[in-house]
Every structure is written in C-alpha cells, then in structure tokens.
Homo-oligomer: A and B are copies of this chain.
Amino acid sequence: MSVIASTDPRTSGTRAHYTISEVAALTGLSAHTLRWYERIGLMPHVDRSHTGQRRFTERDLGWLAFVGKLRLTGMPVADMVRYAELVREGDHTRDERRELLETTRRDVLARITELQDTLAVLDIKIGHYGTACGGTPS
C-alpha cells in the first residue's frame, strides 16, 4: 500500500492530484465504479498523467461528493449523467440545472415525509409488541 500524501515539491499544501486508488479509498467507491462513472459520462473530464493514468483533482473529489449526495436521494444514474452533461455544456444551461435540482429537492422532501409516515407505523407496531397484551401482531 502506497503512501497517499507524497508531497510534491512543485505544489503547496493542497494535493494537486490523486490516483484512482486514492480516490477509491477517499470516496468508498471502487476503482471499477470510478472508471465506470467516467465511461458513462458522470464525471467531468479527468486529467491523465503522461502515461495515461487518471489524475483526479480536488475538484473531482468535490464533484464525487456531490454525486454521492444525489445517489443518496435515489436519483437514477441516468439523471445524474444528464446533470453532468448540462454542467459540461456551459453557462446557458443554468436554468435547466436549477430546475433539475429543485425537482430533486421536492422529491427528497416527499421521501422524508414518506419515511416519517413509515416511522409512525413502525412505532405503532413496536408499541403492540411492547405491551404484552396477548394477540399476535402481524
């Protein structure tokens, strides 16, 4: 296992770039998944070394963190790819991007409400089990 923070004399405190395995360790995604993300267009352009190896930047890490959040919402990968495309297309897609994010926001709110309803049902069920008053809760 290689040392992650090899201090490159040409750069200051912040790492200039990360190998794929470093990013895998940092994000919890597998190297396979990172390559797959790039292949399907879910990553912005990733730099390469002179020998063709990926060199992820801090910016890429930020993007991956954001993608991770989107993933938590249950957003399909295809929609994330769509968002990534819009980012690549430049400034004139700002409105569409904001709309996409706002739709996602509404979905997340709805999901939270749904989960809170479920929580209420679970509490009732658990309550039934707690009070040992006969019967067989199902």
A residues in contact (CB < 8 Å) with B = 44, 59, 62-63, 66, 69-70, 72-73, 87, 90-91, 94, 97-98, 101-102, 104-105, 108-109, 111-112, 114-119, 121-123, 125-126, 129-130, 136-138
Structural contact, B90 and A108, CB atoms closer than 8 A: no
Assuming the A-B contacts A101-B125, A129-B94, A129-B97, are A115 and B44 also in contact, with contact meaning beta carbons closer than 8 angstroms in the complex? no
The residue in chain B whose Cβ has the minimal distance to the Cβ of A65 is B121
Q: How far is the CB of A110 from chain B (nearest CB, A)?
A: 10
Question: For the complex, would chain A's binding face be called helix, strand, loop or mixed by DSSP majority?
Answer: helix
**Which residues of the partner chain B approach A111 to less than 8 Å between Cβ atoms?**
115
Structural contact, B122 and A118, CB atoms closer than 8 A: no
**Which residues of the partner chain B approach A121 to less than 8 Å between Cβ atoms?**
66, 69
Bound-complex Cα distance A108 to B116 (A): 8
**Which residues of the partner chain B approach A66 to less than 8 Å between Cβ atoms?**
121, 125, 138
Interface centre among A90, A129, A130 (most CB of B within 10 A): A129
Closest 10 CB pairs of A and B: A98-B129, A69-B118, A105-B122, A69-B121, A87-B138, A112-B115, A101-B126, A72-B118, A108-B119, A108-B115
